[in-house]
Chain A
Amino acid sequence: MNNRSVARLGLILALALILSYVESLIPFAFGIPGMKLGLPNLAVVIALYLFGWKWALTVNVLRIILSGFLFGNMFGIIYSLAGALTSFVIMLLVRRIDIFSIRGVSICGAVSHNIAQLLTAAILMETAGILYYAPFLLAAGVVTGLIIGIASEGTLRIVGRLGQ
């Protein structure tokens, strides 16, 4: 890893952390546990499309650990990791299958993130009652995934125009 890679990783990681902070300021949960806007996923999706999966995975894991210590607790890190890693694998697969654009990739990521987090909560708390929230989280994943997908697409277009 050379200096330039370190700088690049720092840049994306800083973006992800700022987005985590902004997300913690926006009340979006509507009383449903685990419902989030998923703003930090913007940084992950951008890293995935610009620099490849290794970069995106590094950013993903590091931002969860850092934001967990900064804005959350250990308990939250477990939930976040379960959701983020599942959604990351799903996004890689969906991108490989190559039938969706960045918007579809982001939607699949958001929906699988919510499902994984809900299942983790059901297992950790040993209750199926929490699955009551499944339909709300599915629908929310579609909406937030679409928003993040459109935002990523716009960002990538602007980044692509730089320096030309």
Chain B
Amino acid sequence: MQTDLNNIKNNNKILHELKGQPYDRNDLRPGRIRAEAILIIIILTISLLIYLFMNLGMRSGSTVEVSLGGEIIAVYPLDKDMEYRIESEDGGYNLLVISGGECYLSDADCPDRLCVKQGHISRSGRSIICLPHKLIITIRGDEADGDGVDSVAR
């Protein structure tokens, strides 16, 4: 009998240790929920403001800048339709396509292929980034180009 009782006590102790600290029932009190709602609204507002701010200043671009591992390796005009194969340092590749004033990566052998999913870009300042290959495609605008300003104003 004594050993049974000890066993039960011991089991309870193990269970208690595995359970850790009990979750505070008061953790979700109304004041906290209100504070969280405010937090969510503030963060979403900030992200919306940043998004609007970044998009307002955008003009259509004129060149495509290719940077590999932090160094600019090539600049291509955006108005000439072409296809380039970009070899990265680790032997991988990305296929850059320029067509109809837009550019995108049509294929790549990086593991996540997020660069392909980032889609088409055409406006100055936008970029496509392939983290595994350290590749950044950036659209650059011509500062003297009045076209972009017009297209925003319209």
Using a CB–CB distance below 8 Å, which chain A residues touch chain B?
Answer: 4, 8, 11, 29-33, 49-52, 73, 75, 79, 99-104, 107-108, 111, 121, 125-127, 129-130, 132, 134-136, 138-139, 141-142, 146, 153, 156-157, 159-160, 162-163
| 22 pairs, CB–CB < 8 Å, chain A vs chain B | A8-B17, A29-B117, A31-B114, A31-B118, A32-B114, A33-B118, A33-B131, A49-B20, A52-B21, A73-B132, A100-B32, A101-B36, A103-B28, A103-B36, A104-B39, A107-B40, A127-B127, A129-B127, A134-B47, A134-B50, A153-B27, A163-B19
B15, B70, B129, B131: which contacts A75 (Cβ < 8 A)? B131
Cβ of B136 < 8 Å from any Cβ of A? yes
Interface size class of B (residues with CB under 8 A): 35 or more
Judge whether B50 and A107 touch: CB under 8 Å.
no
CB pair B46 A100 closer than 8 Å: no
B binding-site residues for A, Cβ under 8 Å: 12, 14-23, 27-29, 32-33, 35-36, 39-40, 43-44, 46-48, 50-51, 54, 67, 70, 111-112, 114, 117-119, 125-127, 129, 131-132, 134, 136, 138
Q: Would A132 and B127 count as touching, CB distance under 8 A?
A: yes
Q: Closest CB-CB distance, B16 to chain A, in whole Å?
A: 8
